[in-house]
Amino acid sequence: MSASLDALLCVQTTVLWLALLAPSLLGLWAWRFPPQRMLPVLLAGLPLPLATLWLLHRVSVGGEFEGAWSPGGLLLHWRLDGLAGLLLLLTQLLLLASATYAVGHRRATTLAECAFAGFWPLLGGLAAALGLIWVAADLLILYAALELMGLCAVGMMLLPGKGEALVAGMRYLLYALVGSLAWLLGVALLLGSSGRLDLAGLAATTEPGPVTGIAMALLATGLLLKAAIFPLHGWLAPVHASAWPSVSALHGALVVKASFFILMQLWQRLMPEAVAAAWLLGLLGSLAVLWGGLQAWRASDLKQMVAWSTVGQLGYLMLAFPLLAGTSVAVATLAWQATWLQLAGHALAKAAMFMAAGNLVLSAGESRLTGLAGASRRLPLPLMTFGIAAVTLMGLPPSAGFTAKWLLLQAAILAGQWLWVAVLMAGTLLAAAYVFRVLRCAFVETAPCHEVRPLPAGMDLMALLLALGALGLGLGAEWPLALLREGGRP
Amino acid sequence: MSGALIILATLGTSLFTAVMIFLLPERAFRARTGLNLGAALVKLGLVAWMVWGLSRGREYTLAFPVLEGLAFVLRTDSLGIMFAGLSSLLWLFTTVYAIGYLEDSPNRKRFFGFFSLCVASTLGISLAGNLFTLLVFYELLTLSTYPLVVHRGTAKALAAGKVYLRFTLPAGLVLMIGMVALHALAGDIRFGQQEILAELAPGRRPLLVGIFWVLIVGFGVKAALVPLHGWLPRAMVAPAPVSALLHAVAVVKAGAFGIVRLVYDIYGVELSAELGLLHGLVAVASVTILYGSLRALAQQELKPRLAYSTVSQVSYIVLGIGLFGPLGTIAALSHLLHQGLMKSTLFFCAGNYAEELGIHRIDELDGAGRRMPLTSLAFSVGALGMIGVPPVVGFLSKWYLGTGAIQADMPWVIVVLLASSLLNAAYFLPILGRLWFRPGPDHGVGEWPAERRPVRLETLAWLLVPAVATALFSLMAGVLAGMPFSPLEWTTRVVNTEYLP
Amino acid sequence: MSLSGELFPASLLVILAVACLLDRHLVRACLAFIAFALLMALAWWRLDAPWLALVEAVLGALLTGMALFHGLGRLGGQSSLPSRDRERRPRRQVMARWPAALVWLALAGAAVWGVTGNGELAASAEVSRRPLLAAGLAIMALGLWAFAHHLHLLRRLLAFNVLGSGVFLLLAGLAGPVVEVQGLILVGLVVALVGSVLGAALLRRLYALDGRVTLGDGPKSIR
Amino acid sequence: MSDALFALALPTALLWPLVLMLRVSLTVARTERGQPRALLDGLWCTAPLPALALALGSDEGALALDWWLLGGRWMLDGTRGPLLAFTALLWLLAGGYARGYLAGEQARAVAGDGAAEVRLTRFALLWPLTLSGNLLLLVAEDIASFYLGFAVMTFAAYGLVVHAETRDARTGGRAYLVMAVLGEGLILAGLLWGAGSAGTTMLDGLREGMLEAPGGAWMGLLLWLGFGVKAGVVGLHFWLPLAHPVAPTPASAVLSGVMIKAGLVGWLSTLPLGEPTAGETFVWLGRAMLVAGLAAAIGAALYGVCQRHPKVVLAYSSVSQMGMATALVAMGLVAPTLWPTLSAAVVLFAAHHGLTKGALFLGVGIGKHPPRLPTWLLWTLLALPALSLTGALASGLAAKWAVKAVLYDGGYPTMVTGLSLAAVGTTALMARTLWCQWQGKGQAREEGLEPLMSPMPLAWLATLLAALTLPWWLGGELMVRGWPPLDELSGLLWPLALGLVGAVTAWSVARRRPLRLTWRLPPGDLWWPLVRSGQRLRTRAQGSLDRLGSAQGAWVAWWVARERDAIRALDGMTRGEGWLRRHAAVLMMGLAVGLALLNVFAPA
């Protein structure tokens, strides 16, 4: 009996590591032989989410499983719980969509051959880094994965190689490096005070105190800088301006979330009762919501608008801190579910939106909002996709954003923290303001008719699928949330 | 057929149509028309099936959990199916009308796609089994009507769309907050479980009152209660079928229907009366009725006048809700249907005048009765119904409102009704006078602003038939009010079986 | 190893860092950095981490130095950057950066003091790490200040590298040269190298494209 | 008549006019525009025939229709039967008259006059519609049908009033419509209040409920005033002299003859007359009605004699006569015990007045287009209904006696005196009418004579005959008191004598020194000041509505301006982004310090 269980565990572990590492191998392969068609990419990537689904199924049946890996005297811990599995699934789906989209993008326009080839190993590296971050239970793995992710992301952002992209990429590079140093400083303090690097051990041995407080402050600051939380978001919007849509999609959807994920993991383990600091984080989140929404509203460029909306939407996630710190179990449960649902919904929707925006810009050859006039007639499908994705961003039903907002509101009301209710309202209205600014431009009928460049259908389809996924997650939230309820919260 | 399946099929008919229309190319006129009409007929049939089943005591439910302790519920009860019936019937007519109205105009694909989506949302609202589900479709309705309002893409239309969103989106948000608060207070309340709130601790009562008014503000924007009505007259720039749909079934009614659900199915009418909520509702409704009528009187164009008339008329529903007693309830529920029939008639006719003769202002209507007798006849039926002249259904609504007011011991409401009727007469009778008794271009005086090429009938059959049909329905629903399955009879049955205080 | 024996290399490290960060002559600053990195390698070696010392020498001193010189245009022979940094922050902005770095220093210092003070570092091996800790703190604060203050991208890269070294020193000083620390520092070194290479390459591209050596956040080029 | 037959006959009677109306519209739709077509043919005239047959052939009967409106109940009884009979008869005869009256119009229409064609079509459509409304209200026992009939009749008759499309016709039409809507509103309010408190949809239930309801008398007041608009209660009467004369003569005849009785029917159906249990408040209502009725009866006579147009004078006479009827109905509240006998007298009076007034109105047309009759015969025939109306002979005498006898017996001599005074006024009015007609005869003669056997004279003669012989063919049960004994005649006839003397005196005075009163006393008395104040009010209301609109506009504009300011401010704020970007490193340090301070010093 136990032997078969052990065997099963072994299989699970193997599958997990295969799922984690296969993307980088595929990326290397594709570097050598850049794919020319969408379908092979899709087929090659498809086993990954299927494997993850199977793992999730196992997790839901048998609970989370963990392990350690010891190269050269180090003991590196990892574990797969419901949350990590779901994020892994999300990552793989988005990577798949992004890869497929990139192939379409390559076919629709003339991209530099070497830049396109360079995209693939970076994508593989990013995939591996993200997967490692989700399953890591050890600060060292987290550090390595975080750095890998950051460098891959910078590299992908730099692929277009244009002037503005270079400046923005340089800024991103500098801040990402400095942010991880701040993080490393915090880790150093933690390591110095407790002498351990695995999360479970840290949680067990660390006591709340000034050192932990300062360490967490340094660590959090570094992560906030990487997660582009107000007021440390300055690098985010410019970097998206000239990036490829497939890269922007991944970045806005996952890369910034990874830092948030790490922060949440550490915060929940090491100082779950720090109410005041949690409120500061919540306030920063609120300001992010307002500032991001405002900037997105006033943006005159479509991609800038989408990028700024990321800043705003990330703010919602930060509201989890005050709602989780020192509140009742019911509130905390609600806020916990809301946060991850919001993360997933936003990831899908934001990726869809970047792709749809990319399609609009590519087809119309114009990235200013006013250039979209009449797009509803000329480019109905990308616009529709944009609209569906926007539904999630605005938090209107039946989208994941809506369900998440419902949970968040419920948590805030139950906890009596009315400030967040006001923030949610303001954020929603701002989101509506910037989204409908785009749609409004698209409905203008009097504009002169430009030439429209046809795009491969797969590009539109990918974006649409992601947007519909975000929509469907709203009403189909029970399954992931059940997984979240069962485990994952430290 | 199982219960869940038939509900899904009914809802899916419109959704499927919407998707198919988006997939079809713009020039596939025939296929689109066939799809539209076919789906409308199928849906009407399905709803009729459910009405029949419901009258024989069958239940149709579709439910699945969305969150812990919160379910997505679609369910037929007699009230919901009533609204569903109205929306499917009027969808058919409006579709027919829209096909004729948008002949040769651009963007028909987009129009019909969102149109179907809009109807699907309305159906969802009517079949929703709890507030969460209602909210889902309520917001979906907001989204799907926006493209219809800005359909023309002119600066005016876009401005109207902006105003529309400025009113409806915050309202949806307020609504959501109220619902979440209610959910946090009492959990998931299915429609019809009035006892949950009634049995709440007395200390929670002030909170309940607060939540009630928050929700009323949320619903009140769509129901165009003064001072939340500002979007409605602006939304008149939309094409006539959209106006008909907005005013008769979809948006405005969704708000009113929400208030009906809130008072009767969530709070329960006794609790509402106990908390003193109904008096507030009656006061708001009275102000709206009079204000809307006064503003209608001041309008010089046909559609804005009709729009303000809607502001006034929809509040009759709210007024009826506020009248504690079975008669008031009957008035509220039946007016939900009656107003839909009459108002869509009026908007169809207004659209016909605009389309056929280019008439937008009231003073251009002189003598139009001779040029377009059937349209004008339909318009007269609608207008007389609005005034409350029998045998058009409007009279029945007024009758039940008035007697309900006496029953609820609020005789002063009759003064409001009377004043409103007089004002209605004051702004509708001059129009009728111009239509029938003034010499116009057809008598050799002046000429029409923009007459279209003459056709065999007074205008396209696509445009004429829906107007006449809805007029006939509003006439028949009045004359045959005592027949089984007439709106009045059905509401009486609903009230007697479910909402007897 | 005695305390006084540690004091001298520690202060030398600080002095080199200061020279590297404050010198407006870029070539000199890069040379100072290479010296600094070599001294770091020495420090690792003395901490019983020979592998780390090797890696530091190769990655930190050799490769990073090459990358920096490439960024300056002194390797590869194409158009080279001007060897002096002429970018200046306005006085008001300068005033804000000193206190910030000092507060940061105080914060980190308090935390370090908390760790070492509580742990009752009786062992001489740990006492001897104290100068290292102090040097690490100073270098880190200096690096952070320089990163915030400088506009020239090369100097910012230098500042980032110095900052990183400071953090590594702190790491080693706080937890000792255990295998976890070595792992962290190893990863950090690789990252720093990749970052420097990337940054230097970018700098060259930027300069080649439109002759700029800053991010454009400075007062001169507000868009 | 058997129940089954009744169940068939009653709907037929109501539907037949509608069928004819449909036929007219089909005819219009079928024939090309400008083609000759005879809309007012013989079949069209038969619209009221089934109703007449029903009224004469059946005394009692009831029909319940559950599917109809709020549940229908139509019935005929001792009161409704005679009312239906004379109503249908007058409609029939006036319809026949209309064929002749509108022959000229028809000829013009055939000749291609578009306007005449439109007018004619409209008349042909609305005449049967008005008729069916009138019939329905007579047979309806449920409130909804009654109100439906009343409303249909009222609104359809508007088209008859404005038929001529002259300026006067428009004025009359507007007065008619405004007052009609007001009346409908009052009626609806009264009905809703009454029915709501009684919880009924039937008229008898309404009457009973009103007795018990706390505000019963107020409901009564609303209903009295509401129906009073139609019946010309003093103060609400002024539309009558404006609207009745401008309508085509046959329409005037039915307006003044039968439609005005709808108000009376309304009172009879809704007020709790003859109920001894009615409270004191109802008695006070009765007294108010009584005073108003007598005031109308006498005042209208005084005002009416100063008018110049015969139809206007006749309209005022209608007001006066309806005043008498009001007073009689009021007795049902003041002295409930008298009502059983008095009600028959009221119905008789109504029938008498209806037919006689019809004959008089038709006679005005005859005076303008005289048939080939000797002058003396013509004028005698014209004078006969006038005399009848004063109560000197035939139906007038019978009605007068019926009323007087009951009142004497009940002990209300003052009331009788009042009525007699009104009769003096009536005499003067009749004299004035004839005098006005006489003055216009010369012109009429020049236009040529009508053949005697044409529809107009025949219809007129038939009406005359029907009016004069009313007591014999309809009297039956209504003539409770039979004919007056000879010694009572002097008591009945002195008002006539007095009126004649007064009229002759006034005529002789006026011949020498013509009175210019008529210029100062325009028809429609109260209407004109009301219009003036109404216009003032309207300007003011329009002003305040405009102000409301502009205030709203200003409010919106203010908000738009604030919005623009706000957006400008926000745009300014977005430039803060540059600052944030420049100081990102410092901000990072500050944030770390802030978080650390909170972590270290904030209470856990």
The answer on pLDDT for B443 being more than 80 is no
**Could you tell me if D69 lies within 8 Å of chain B, comparing CB atoms?**
yes
Mutate to test the interface with A, among C118, C126, C152, C167 (most CBs of A within 10 A): C167
pLDDT of residue C3: 62
Confidence at D471, pLDDT banded by 50, 70, 90: confident
Q: Which of A106-110, B161-165, D94-98, D540-544 has the lowest mean pLDDT?
A: A106-110
Residue D425 lies in a domain: yes
In chain B, residues with a C-beta closer than 8 Å to the C-beta of A443 are 147, 150, 153, 158, 161
Give the DSSP letter string of B5-68.
Answer: HHHHHHHHHHHHHHHHHHHS-TT-HHHHHHHHHHHHHHHHHHHHHHHHHHHTT---EEEEEEET
pLDDT value, residue D514: 66
What are C140's two structure tokens?
């880190």
Domain membership of residue D263 (yes or no) is no
* Residue D25 burial class via C-beta count within 10 angstroms: exposed 0-12, middle 13-18, buried 19 and up: middle
Average pLDDT over residues D54-60: 85
Share of chain D above pLDDT 70, in %: 96
Mean pLDDT of B445-453: 81
Residue A30 — pLDDT band, cuts 50, 70, 90?
confident
- Which residues span the domain enclosing D488? 331-516
Q: In this structure, is the dihedral angle defined by the CA atoms of residues A259, A261, A262 and A263, taken in order, positive or negative? A: positive
Do residues A162 and A123 touch, judged by C-beta distance below 8 A?
no
Q: Chain D residue closest to B421 (CA)? A: D185
Phi, psi of A79 (to 5 degrees): -155, 155
Mean pLDDT for the stretch of residues A325-353: 91
Specify whether the CB–CB gap between D198 and D213 falls below 8 A: yes
Give the distance from CA B136 to its chain's centroid. Answer: 18
Touching pair A, D by Cβ (3+ pairs < 8 Å):
yes
What pLDDT, on a 0 to 100 scale, did the predictor assign at position B353? 92
So what's the pLDDT on residue C222?
34
Contacts of B23 (CB under 8 A, 6+ apart): none
* E-state strands within chain C: none
- Kindly list the residues from chain B whose CB atom is less than 8 angstroms away from the CB atom of residue A477: 66-67
pLDDT at position A94, please? 93
How far are the Cα atoms of B338, B473, B474, D195 from residue B478, in angstroms, in the given order?
Answer: 9, 8, 6, 19
Would you list the domain boundaries of chain C? 3-221
> pLDDT tens for residues D499-557?
888 888 888 887 777 666 556 678 878 888 888 998 999 899 888 878 888 888 899 89
Number of CB atoms found within 10 A of residue B439's CB: 16
pLDDT in tens, A162-192: 777 888 888 999 999 999 999 999 998 888 8
D134-190 pLDDT, tens digit per residue, is 999 999 999 999 999 999 999 999 999 999 888 889 999 999 999 999 999 999 999
Distances (CA, A) of B90 to B123, D518, D553: 12, 59, 35
Please give the Cα distance from B48 to B151 (Å, whole number). Answer: 32
| Residue A449: predicted pLDDT | 66
Mean pLDDT of chain D: 87
Is there a domain that residue D17 lies in? no
Q: Is the pLDDT of residue D292 over 90?
A: yes
- Reported as a pLDDT band with limits 50, 70 and 90, residue A487 is low
Q: What is the pLDDT of residues B102-160, one digit of tens each?
A: 887 888 888 999 999 998 999 999 999 999 999 999 999 999 999 999 988 888 899 99
Is residue B64 within 8 angstroms of chain A, CB to CB?
Answer: yes
Which of C96, C218, C223 lies at the smallest CB-CB distance from D586? Answer: C96
Using the Cβ of B158 and the Cβ atoms of chain A, whether some distance falls under 8 Å is answered with: yes
| Predicted pLDDT of residue C211 | 78
**Where does the pLDDT of residue B57 fall: very low under 50, low under 70, confident under 90, or very high at 90 and above?**
confident
Determine the residue among A172, A174, A197, A207 to mutate to test chain C binding: the one whose Cβ has the most chain C Cβ atoms within 10 Å. A174
So what's the pLDDT on residue D517?
Answer: 59
Q: Which residues of D touch A217 (CB under 8 A)?
A: 592-596, 598-599
- Nearest Cα of chain D lies from the Cα of B108 at a distance, in angstroms, of 33
Asked if the interface predicted TM-score (ipTM) of this complex is over 0.95, the answer is no
Q: A443–B161: do the CB atoms touch at under 8 Å?
A: yes
At a CB cut-off of 8 Å and minimum separation 6, what does B473 contact? B89, B341
Provide long-range contacts, Cβ within 8 A and 24+ apart, for D64-69: D65/B482, D66/B482, D67/B480, D67/B481, D67/B482, D67/B483, D68/B479, D68/B480, D68/B481, D68/B482, D68/D142, D68/D144, D68/D145, D69/B390, D69/B391, D69/B396, D69/B478, D69/B479, D69/B481, D69/B482, D69/D142, D69/D144, D69/D145, D69/D148
Q: Is the pLDDT of residue A465 over 80?
A: yes
Confidence band of B376 (pLDDT split at 50, 70, 90): very high
> Is the confidence at residue D94, as pLDDT, over 90?
yes
Distance of alpha carbon A438 from alpha carbon C194, whole angstroms: 40
Q: Residue B396: what pLDDT?
A: 92
Q: What mean pLDDT is predicted for residues D54-82?
A: 86
Q: Among A313, A352, A310, which residue's Cα sits nearest to residue A469?
A: A352
pLDDT value for B282: 93
- Residue C121, pLDDT above cutoff 70: no
Is the predicted pLDDT of residue B379 greater than 50, yes or no? yes
Task: Say how far apart CA B295 and CA B297 lie, in whole Å.
Answer: 5
For the ranges A32-36, C16-20, D522-526, which has the lowest average pLDDT? Answer: D522-526
Which pLDDT belongs to residue D516? 63
In the stretch 96-125 of chain C, residues with CB closer than 8 A to chain A read 107-108, 110-112, 114-116, 118-119
D579 → chain A, closest CA residue: A234
* Dihedral pair phi/psi, residue D411, rounded to 5°: 85, 40
Residue A454 or residue D139, greater confidence = D139
Q: Which of A132-136, B219-223, C178-182, D202-206 has the lowest mean pLDDT?
A: C178-182
Q: Determine the residue type at D120.
A: L
Helix (H) or strand (E) holding D63: strand D61-65
Closest-approach residue (CA) in chain B for D71:
B482
Which among A374, A421, A432 has the least Cβ separation from residue B177? A421
Is residue A449 exposed (0-12), middle (13-18) or buried (19+ Cβ within 10 Å)? exposed
Whether the CB-CB separation of B322 and B275 falls below 8 Å is answered with no
Q: Name every chain A residue with its beta carbon within 8 A of the beta carbon of C202.
A: 158, 166, 169-170, 173
Size of interface A-D (CB pairs under 8 A): 81
Q: Is residue A398 within 8 Å of B36, Cβ to Cβ?
A: no
Query: What pLDDT does residue B137 have?
Result: 94
Report the gap between the CA of A3 and the closest CA in chain D (Å). Answer: 47
Residue of B nearest to D197 (CA): B406
Mutation for testing the B interface, residue in A334, A399, A445 having most B CBs under 10 Å: A445
A225 compared with B27, residue with greater pLDDT: A225
Position with higher pLDDT, C30 vs D481: C30
φ, ψ at A435 (rounded to 5°): -65, -45
Contact D599 A213 (CB under 8 A): yes
Chain A residues within 8 A of C209 when measuring between CB atoms:
163, 166
Beta-carbon count within 10 A of B264 CB: 24
Average pLDDT for D410-417? 85
pLDDT computed for residue C223 by the predictor: 34
Of A248, A327, A244, give the one whose Cα is nearest residue A282.
A327
Average pLDDT over chain C reads 82
CA distance B273 to B282: 11
What pLDDT is stored for residue C122 in this prediction?
A: 44
Which pLDDT score is estimated for C149? 87
| Contacts of D among chains (3+ CB pairs under 8 A) | A, B, C
- Confidence label for C219 from pLDDT (cuts 50, 70 and 90): very low
Minimal CA separation from B400 to chain D, in Å: 8
Choose among A208, A214, A297: nearest Cβ to D604.
A208
Mean of pLDDT over chain B: 89
- CB contacts under 8 A, C 47-76 vs A, are none
| Minimal C-alpha gap between C35 and chain A (Å) | 22
* Residues paired with D75 in a beta bridge: D62
The confidence score (pLDDT) of residue C89 equals 80
Using CB atoms, pick whichever of D578, D581, D593 lies closest to residue C103.
D593
Beta carbons of B483 and D151 less than 8 Å apart? no
Q: Which of B297, B334, B263, B273 is nearest to B481 (CA)?
A: B334
Q: What pLDDT was estimated at residue C220?
A: 41
Any domain includes D409:
yes
Of chain B, the percentage scoring pLDDT greater than 90 comes to: 50
pLDDT at site C218: 47
**Chain B residues inside the 8 Å CB shell of A421:** 177
As a whole number, mean pLDDT of residues D466-470 equals 88
